[in-house]
Structure 1
Amino acid sequence: MIKKYINVVLFLFLAFAVGCATKSNMQPEGEWTLSEAELVSPDADATIELDEIFTTESIDFEWKPSVNSADYIIKYAVVLVSDTATSYENPLIEVESNNNGKDITASITHEEIDLALAQACYPKDQVAKVKWGVKAMSLSVVAFSSQPINIKRFSFDPIPNNLYLIGTATEVGNNLAQGIPLKAFKDAEGKMTFFETITQLTKDETYEFVSRLEEPALHYGGENGSIALCGAEITATEDGVFRVGVDLVSNTIKLEKINHLGIVGTPIEGEWSGDVALPYLGNGLFQDTVELLQTGGFVLRIDGDWGRMYKQTPGTTSLLFEPYADAVGLAKEDLQNENVGNYIVSADFLGTSYSYSFEKVEVDIPTPNPIVAPESLFLIPNDGSGAVELVKDNNVFTSNYLALQAAVKYTLNSAADGSGTSYSLLGNIGETEDDPNGDNVYGAPYFKEEAGDISVIRDQAYMLTIDFDAPTVQWQYYNIKLFHWDDNGGWDDRKELPMTYVHPYTFTLENTDLSAGFDSKFFSPWDVEFGVSDAAGSTDDATATTGTTTNKTFVEEGVNVSNFKFTSTDGTYTVSLEITNDYTVGNYTVTQ
Structure 2
Amino acid sequence: MKYVLKTGGMAVLAMLSILSCKQTVRELNPAVTPVSTLTAPANNASVKLEPSTPASVQFKWEPTQAIEGVLYEVAFDKTDGDFSKPFYKTVSDGLGVQPQLTLSHNDLKKIAALGGIGASSTGSVKWTVLASVAFNRQAGTSTRVLTMTRPAGFTELPDSLYLTGTATEGGDDVTKGIRLKKVEDGIFEVYTSLKGGTYRLTDRLTGTGKSYYIANDTIREGTSRTTLTGPAKTYRLRYDFNVASTQATEIQSIGLFMSAYNKEIGTLTYAGNGTWTAASIPVEFYPFSWGRDERYKFAVHTATGTEYMGSSNVNNNSPAGAPASYFYLQPVSNSQWDNTYKFDPSADLKKVKVDLFLRATAPYSHQVTVLK
* TM-score, with length taken from structure 2: 0.44
Which has the higher relative contact order, 1 or 2, with Cα contacts under 8 A spaced 6 or more apart? 2
